[in-house]
Structure 1
Amino acid sequence: MQTDKITERIVTWLKDYAEKAHVKGYVVGVSGGVDSAVVSTLCAMTGLKTLLIEMPIRQNQDEVNRAWEHMEYLKKRFSNVEAISVNLTPAFEELYKTFDVKDEDFPAEKLAFANTRSRLRMLTLYYYGQINSLLVCGTGNKVEDFGVGFFTKYGDGGVDVSPIADLYKTEVYALAKSLDLVESIQNAIPADGLWDEARTDEQQIGATYPELEKIQKEWGTKTEADYSGRDLEVFKIFQRMNRAAQHKIQPIPVCNIPEEWRN
């Protein structure tokens, strides 16, 4: 993997896009994971204003510590980087009380509240982006965005640009290494941080990113009959999640009205 060329291409792309959009730079939500760490670093490398926001909601302290270790690291490296924390726990708790739905009545409530956390963060990023003339920079990778749809619609999926959405997770880790990010970020186990109890991505999905990448790279050229053993298990996981996520992956459907009906 030619990490230097990929880095240069993304940084140039981000800079050009911001300049054409007539904005000052980017705002990035930093979670303590590798994706947001790589994206925030690439934004910082543009030389444009880069605002990093850590947004805890009942957050695991390890995630908070990693996020701040990374943000402090970037602040020391780049004079164009600012970092703040916006505690969204009180806002989330008010919503939790306002909705007042009992889990036994609606089994999907826990997932709905997990997605609500992500949507609160999207709202926050757009608020700070607008008042600072910044675009919201997405942190989703190729498997999450176009494979299994492991993101929240109008949450972390609500962004202005997606600089690493054509990179697999293993490639993002390779960029993190080449960018010499802090060790805690490079060694972080992928987790979305949307649950009160710790849940890794692998626990939620049922497969590792390398396993999912293998299937995604062969998607459309191989069928279920081509797999066996663990590969077959992962194929079925990928197939199920990909089908269920089409409403997120595909553009919003529009009901077209015949032109002659307009007269």
Structure 2
Amino acid sequence: MQTEKVIDHIVKWLKDYATNAKSKGFVIGISGGIDSAVTSTLCAKTGLDLLCLEMPIHQAENQVDRASRHINWLEKNFPRAKRQEVNLTPVFDQLVASLPPVETEEERFMSLANTRARLRMTTLYYFAALEGYLVAGTGNKVEDFGVGFYTKYGDGGVDLSPIADLLKTEVYAIAEVLGINQEIIKAAPTDGLWGDDRTDEDQIGASYPELEWAMKMKEEGKAESDFTGREKEVFRIFMRYNTANQHKMIPIPVCEIPIALK
């Protein structure tokens, strides 16, 4: 990958899109992870406004600290970057208290993980409308089009996706060139929706390089029977997520009414 040229291409694309949309800049949620760090830096390089939101919901302290230090770095290097903290923990807790009880706490826990992402999406769009900004998405190609590892109408609810055609390993390559903090580059990827230290790999059962390999194998028309051992296991994991999350990757189905019935 011609990393520096890819960076220039994305920055130009972002600036052109915002200009054509008559937008003053971008708003983005900063999680302390690699994707939001890279995306926010690319947005900052356009020279347009960049509002970085910190939206903790029972967040692990190390994630909060990494996010804060990244925003400090952005503010130091890009004069039009600024921060806004919105503590969503009380909002989340109040919502939980308002919901009816369920049979098991694990059932509630699973449902509420995605609720965190949707509260953040609502907050991002509040500031986008207030300031005339575009909501920048942070999903990469493997997450968005491989395993669908994001929340529908949560972190998937955005105006534009600058890095969605980049594999996770390519995002890391861009991070190195951009000068992203090494603590972010070295941190294990996590969606931060559980209030603990579980990683993406813990949840999925495969690393991003493994998922990228499986995605390539699928594109080449390979099947599970073509592999053995760990490769077979990874390909099975990829296909399970890819199949189950197709509803995230295709347009919302519309029931078309036959002309004869109208």
TM-score in terms of structure 2 length? 0.97
Letter aligned with residue 209 of structure 2? P
- CA distance in 1 between partners of 2:94 and 2:142 (Å): 33
**How far did 1:185 drift?**
1.1
Equivalence map 1:233-244=2 (5 Å): 233-244=233-244
Query: Could you say what secondary structure the match of 1:31 adopts?
Result: coil
- CA distance in 2 between partners of 1:202 and 1:103 (Å): 28
Segments of structure 2 that go 5 or more residues without pairing to the other structure are: none
- CA distance in 1 between partners of 2:251 and 2:155 (Å): 16
- CA distance in 2 between partners of 1:4 and 1:103 (Å): 53
**How far did 1:186 drift?**
1.2
**How far did 1:37 drift?**
0.1
**How far did 1:109 drift?**
2.1
Equivalence map 1:48-197=2 (5 Å): 48-104=48-104, 108-197=107-196
**How far did 1:174 drift?**
0.6
Query: Could you say what secondary structure the match of 1:219 adopts?
Result: helix
Q: Is the 8 A contact 1:30 1:54 kept in 2?
A: yes
Letter aligned with residue 169 of structure 2? T
**How far did 1:16 drift?**
0.5
1:44 aligns with 44
2:6 counterpart of 1:6: yes
Q: Is the 8 A contact 1:103 1:110 kept in 2?
A: no
- CA distance in 2 between partners of 1:64 and 1:196 (Å): 12
**How far did 1:107 drift?**
5.1
- CA distance in 1 between partners of 2:58 and 2:148 (Å): 24
Change beyond 3 A, Cα 1:181–1:224: same
**How far did 1:103 drift?**
4.8
**How far did 1:4 drift?**
0.4
- CA distance in 2 between partners of 1:90 and 1:97 (Å): 10
What is the alpha-carbon root mean square deviation over aligned residues?
1.0
TM-score in terms of structure 1 length? 0.97
Q: Deviations over 1:209-247 (max 9, x none)?
A: 000000101214211121111010000000111110011
- CA distance in 2 between partners of 1:150 and 1:98 (Å): 28
Query: Could you say what secondary structure the match of 2:170 adopts?
Result: helix
Instruction: Between 216-225 and 4-13, report the one with greater CA deviation.
Output: 216-225
Instruction: Between 93-102 and 127-136, report the one with greater CA deviation.
Output: 93-102
Change beyond 3 A, Cα 1:103–1:84: farther
Q: Deviations over 1:14-44 (max 9, x none)?
A: 0011111111011010000000000000000
**How far did 1:165 drift?**
0.5
**How far did 1:108 drift?**
3.2
Letter aligned with residue 223 of structure 1? A
Segments of structure 1 that go 5 or more residues without pairing to the other structure are: none
1:204 aligns with 203
**Aligned pairs, number:** 261
Q: Is the 8 A contact 1:43 1:50 kept in 2?
A: yes
- CA distance in 2 between partners of 1:188 and 1:107 (Å): 27
Q: Deviations over 1:91-132 (max 9, x none)?
A: 00000100132352x753212100000000000000001100
Query: Could you say what secondary structure the match of 1:108 adopts?
Result: helix
Q: Deviations over 1:174-221 (max 9, x none)?
A: 110010111111111100110022210000000000000001012142
